[in-house]
Amino acid sequence: MANNNSQSTSEIKPRPARLASESVAGRPPIVAVLGHVDHGKTTLLDRIRKTSVASREVGGITQSIGAWSVKTPKNETVTFIDTPGHEAFKAMRERGAKVADIVILVVAADDGVMPQTKESLKYINESQTPFLVAITKVDLPTAQIERAKNQLMSEGILLEGYGGDVPIIEVSAKTGQGVEDLLEMIILMAEVNEVSGDPEGSLEAYVIESRHDRRKGVVASLVIKNGSIKSGDELYADKVGGKARGLFDEFEKSVSKVLPGMPVEIIGFSGIPAVGSRVEKSGQAVVEEKPRSIIPKVEGFPIVLKVDSSGSLEAILGQLPPDVGILYCAVGDISESDVLNASTAGAAIIGFNVRAGKEIERLSEGEHVKIYTYRIIYELLQDLDKMAKGEIEHSKDKILGKAEIIAHFPHDKLRIAGCKLVEGRIAKSDRLRLIRGEKVLGNIRLISLKKQKEEVDKVVGGEEFGMLFEPQFDFQVKDVIESFQERQSA
């Protein structure tokens, strides 16, 4: 365990021993794998499971929590949760630590302790979860195993063999070195910590992922720590109810009942339950957590955000660039209403692991709404930052005219911008955007264009005019209104 005299913020506290009872049997331990990005978490699990999940992960980074049960060489079962490593998935790693019975802290022998390693230690400390350290990539010629151990001890972790009792295993996912030792240590820790579950007891399960599937409807991935779930059970999670119409294991095989320690995918919730929420059956005393509300940001470069799951939504919202404003966000594919709402607000549509059908694409072209879809989250975040700074789409467009705002006047609940055209022309049919300095605040929709109190269709060089538009983005004198025409990408 950690040295209690250490002042490190990552100091690990002992977890109180569990109380065993004769009616409660041992169950498969639920194990979360935490660590820095690209330190070999998914590759290690891939080695354990003898599958090819790691090679299928987009960009080589796990992007949603997956849960799998595996058999050890001694025929014991362990359930693993693989948590993403990218910094945007901070909340998902924290959730994995809280749900798990045991945590494997993965540290690459060539990199050593990194920022997300320290974050993971913080989650372990806060949840008081028993943990062990796996030093990965020990087969690399650049491996510095002793340096990695010393860095861990400098974080307040007392390792076995160095005066402490935190187990440490040296492993190579490539050669298989240490993998069996790692599994044996997990089983030993589960026994010492009396990991147990009662199939007949009250249900204690947690949502580790939830999404809307085009064919199945709402799908929620759960791990069960106590009790059981069978087809037809009435379930509740985060004030969302439903009946378990279908239960599927990690191989998408239909099952009739799920016991403690096992992962399951459930179809039947009436809405999308919050990731991390506890799932209980009808009649159980529900201890409600304070619901987490997402309040859309309305200032900045406007977007409509559509994602594949609530876990992805949480991760993206937690890492949005400061100059990006959200009109609204939701789980599901891009729809006609998304395009129409984006058109009205002058917003772009950002999709993560979702699709836009051909009809939606045709509608977006007609409404002059740009749709950007991504499969890798850090690319999405990088592009959003560029969009907010005007570095994407701005340079691809043909500029038709520019006007400087020189005054403003109240009009009902809006303001009229008094402008002077300094370049080209502006017409009612043009696409327009508001610019402050070098930053594009967002696209705007023209409501009225007047010159000397007369409504006009177009203004040309040097003329002064009044313009009423939405959204107003709290425009200021000296802001620029730009008329542009989109150029087709090559």
What is the distance between the alpha carbons of residues 385 and 49, in angstroms, rounded to a whole number?
A: 38
**Residue whose tokens read 């987490």:** 292
Q: What does the pLDDT read at residue 20? A: 32
- Report whether 361 contacts 315 (CB < 8 A): no
E strand or H helix at 305: strand 301-307
Please name the amino acid found at residue 488: Q
Containing 41, the helix (H) or strand (E) segment is: helix 41-49
Neighbour count for residue 74 (Cβ, 10 Å): 9
Distance CA 467, CA 482 (A): 12
State the Cα–Cα distance between residues 364 and 356, nearest whole angstrom.
10
In one letter, which amino acid is 299? Answer: E
List of residues 6+ apart from 285 with CB closer than 8 A: none
CA distances from 236 to 21, 255, 354 (A): 27, 20, 27
How far apart CA 175 and CA 173 sit, in angstroms, is: 6
Query: Dihedrals φ, ψ of 191, to 5°?
Result: -70, -45
Taking the mean position of all CA atoms in its chain, how far away is CA 286? 27
> How far is 473 from 440, CA to CA, in rounded Å?
11
Residues of the chain with pLDDT under 50: 1-24, 51-57, 60-65, 85-89, 285-297, 394-396, 488-490
Are 334 and 305 in contact, with CB atoms under 8 Å apart? no
Residue-level pLDDT at 13:
41
Ramachandran quadrant class, 325 (left: phi over 0; alpha: psi -120 to 50; beta: rest):
beta
State the DSSP code for 309: B
Q: Which two tokens stand for residue 147?
A: 């340096």
SS3 335: coil
**C-alpha pair distances (Å), 429 with each of 361, 368, 379, 393, 445:** 21, 12, 33, 19, 10
Neighbour-count burial for 112-139, b at 16+ CB within 10 Å, e otherwise = bbbebbebbbbbbbebebbbbbbbbbbe
Largest interatomic CA distance in the chain: 89
Which structural domains are found in the chain, ordered by start? 25-196 (3.40.50.300), 204-281 (2.40.30.10), 301-388 (3.40.50.10050), 398-485 (2.40.30.10)
To 10 degrees, the CA torsion angle through 253, 258, 263, 267?
60
Residue 314 structure tokens: 């949480």
End-to-end CA distance of the chain: 59
Q: What is the total residue count of the chain?
A: 490
pLDDT at position 350: 94
What are the phi and psi torsion angles at 99 (to 5°)?
A: -80, -30
Task: Say if CB 1 and CB 158 are below 8 A apart.
Answer: yes
Among 253, 199, 261, which Cα is nearest to 230's? 199
**Contact criterion met (CB below 8 Å) for 2 and 158:** yes
Q: Where are the alpha helices (DSSP H) in 346-401?
A: 358-366, 377-388
The residues facing 449 across adjacent strands are 467
Calpha distance 260→476 (Å, rounded): 60
Residue 392's pLDDT is 65
* Rounded-to-integer distance, Cα 144 and Cα 147, Å: 5
Tokens standing for residue 41: 């978490």
